[in-house]
Amino acid sequence: MSLSLVIFDVDGTLVDSQGDILGAMSIAFASEGIKRPTREAILAIVGLSLPQAFSHLAPELGPVQRTRLVEAYKDAYAELRMKGGPEASPLYPGIPALLDRLSARDDVLLGIATGKSRRGLTALLESHGLTQRFVTRQCADDNPSKPHPAMLFNALDEAGVDPERAMMIGDTSYDMEMAQAAGMPRIGVTWGYHPPEALAGAEHVVDDAAGLERAIETVLEGMT
């Protein structure tokens, strides 16, 4: 039996983490005495690794100050995760049951490709009891930022799965561009942080967890 790898983005795909993200951004910018960018501007960069995100959000700042913002954000996010619990960054409706069903399959492995830091990803997964669900957890600490495809290639290597037997699921244009660069099937979800038109590169676009499960099954059937 050949194994298939289903790779998920995290923020805006599995988890609605905008409360923690916006809160940590507020703390980070306040630490430098700078007004926080708008909610829309912040959510537009979700998916990028933090150095790239702050380059977009504060291009007028020098690299030293942006590095301080990155570290302040990481510290603030970790503290908010510890205080807030899973309800502060809830899983989207239907996602827990979907992950349960996929995890129970003998022919499917699950992975993550996220712009989060390793510390932030670990805290988030632990708060939801999801750490053991994923055989590979690719994050910004170990890879170039999306949409570079290195995360996906490293996920394939770590899981021991051939490229033609993997797919990427995400809510942003960065996810779609990354998967396209890796030559991987891609499913876009509309409940996240980028508008549906940003998912034009997806082969399937879905509006809820039931639609996502059907799309995953369609892609899996095409691999047999």
Q: CA 126, CA 130: separation in Å to the nearest integer?
A: 6
- The residue with tokens 């289903």 is 6
Cβ neighbours of residue 29 closer than 8 Å, sequence gap 6 or more:
35, 36, 37, 58, 69
Q: CA 66, CA 107: separation in Å to the nearest integer?
A: 44
Q: Which has the closest alpha carbon to 21: 6, 10, 8?
A: 10
> What phi and psi, each to the nearest 5 degrees, are found at residue 128?
-100, 0
Q: What confidence score (pLDDT) does residue 120 get? A: 86
Q: Are strands 166-170 and 4-8 parallel, antiparallel or unpaired?
A: parallel
- The residue with tokens 């409706």 is 93
Under-50 pLDDT residues of the chain: none
Helix (H, G, I), strand (E, B) or coil at 221: helix
Q: What confidence score (pLDDT) does residue 78 get? A: 85
Q: Which has the closest alpha carbon to 89: 117, 126, 140, 142?
A: 126
Could you give the percent of the chain with pLDDT greater than 70? 97
Q: What is the DSSP string of 48-72?
A: B-HHHHHHHH-TTS-HHHHHHHHHH
Whole-model pTM over 0.85: yes
CB 145 within 8 Å of CB 51: yes
Question: In residues, how long is the chain?
Answer: 224
DSSP state of 114: -
Catalytic residues, by residue number, are 9, 11
Q: CA 174, CA 181: separation in Å to the nearest integer?
A: 10
Q: Which has the closest alpha carbon to 96: 82, 88, 86?
A: 86
Q: Nearest-5° angle of CA 90, CA 95, CA 96?
A: 80
Q: What confidence score (pLDDT) does residue 1 get? A: 64
